[in-house]
Amino acid sequence: MTRVTDDIIIRAVARILIPFIQLYALYVIMHGHHSPGGGFQGGVIMGASFILYLLTHGLEEAKTRMSEIRAGVFSSFGLLVYSGIGLLCLILGSNYLDYGKLSTVLKVIPAQARSLGILGVEIGVGIAVMAVMFSIFFDISTGGILPEDEEDLGARDG
């Protein structure tokens, strides 16, 4: 599924559409507390944009934008943001993910601190979901074997 084909129409349309999909994903993440959406949905759309790039431009070009290693780093980073905000609340002396206490750090009223805390957690969730979506698709489409792995296997056999 990662073979490069010369579908000019799909390549050109995807090329123009991908930036707008990515911006829309960020919009869904950032406006999660006003309109439908949130971290998970935005992350899925973001992951879909990278999957679209992989489908239309092939594995080699997709690796320059989002490689498997980078996806792993991003998924851990998203989890770090999520749990970091939760632990920060715990350190400040309230429950896990109780954003009200963040007002002492952010120097704003508790209601606004809650809004900002939820936004931060959603950004973390979005990054993690995006990376995990992409890496699941990557693993399925390559069958877990990358071209360089195949070369290694061949060398070992020979």
Partner 1 sequence: MDNFFLLLGMALFTLVLLCLYRGVFGPGVLNRMAGICAIGTKTLVILLLMGFIYNRVEMFIDISMVYAFLNFVGTITAAKYLEIKGEA
Partner 2 sequence: MEVTVLVQATDKAFEILEKARNEARELLYSSAKLTSETKSLAERRQARAFLSGAQQSKLALRNFTIAFFVLFAFWILLSARFDYFHLTLGIICSMLVAYMSHDLLFSNIRLGDVRIKARRFFAAAPWFLGQIFSANLHVAYLALSPKMPVDPQIIRFKTKLESDISWVALANSITLTPGTITVDIREGEFFVHALDRKVAYELSTGQMEDKIAHVLMEADHVYIQDVLDVSRIFGALK
- Report whether 48 contacts 21 (CB < 8 A): yes
Nearest-5° angle of CA 43, CA 46, CA 48?
110
Residue from 1, 4, 12, 145 touching partner 2 (CB under 8 A): that is 12
Alpha-carbon separation of residue 22 from 25, 43, 68, 137 (angstroms): 5, 10, 19, 18
Establish if 41 lies at the interface with partner 1 (CB under 8 A).
yes
Closest distance of CB 32 from partner 2, Å: 12
Establish if 40 lies at the interface with partner 1 (CB under 8 A).
no
CA dihedral 90, 95, 101, 102 (to 10 degrees): 50
Could you tell which of partner 1, partner 2, none binds residue 3, using a CB distance below 5 to 8 A set by kind? partner 1
Closest distance of CB 128 from partner 2, Å: 17
97's tokens = 């993910």
Q: Which of residues 45-84 bind partner 1 (CB under 8 A)?
A: 45, 48, 51-52, 55-56
The helix or strand, by DSSP H or E, that contains position 44, with its residue range, turns out to be: helix 39-65
Closest distance of CB 86 from partner 2, Å: 22
Establish if 143 lies at the interface with partner 1 (CB under 8 A).
no
**Closest Cα to residue 48, out of 139, 124, 119, 136?**
136
List contacts with partner 1 (CB under 8 A): 1, 3, 5, 10, 14, 17, 21, 24, 28, 35-37, 41, 45, 48, 51-52, 55-56
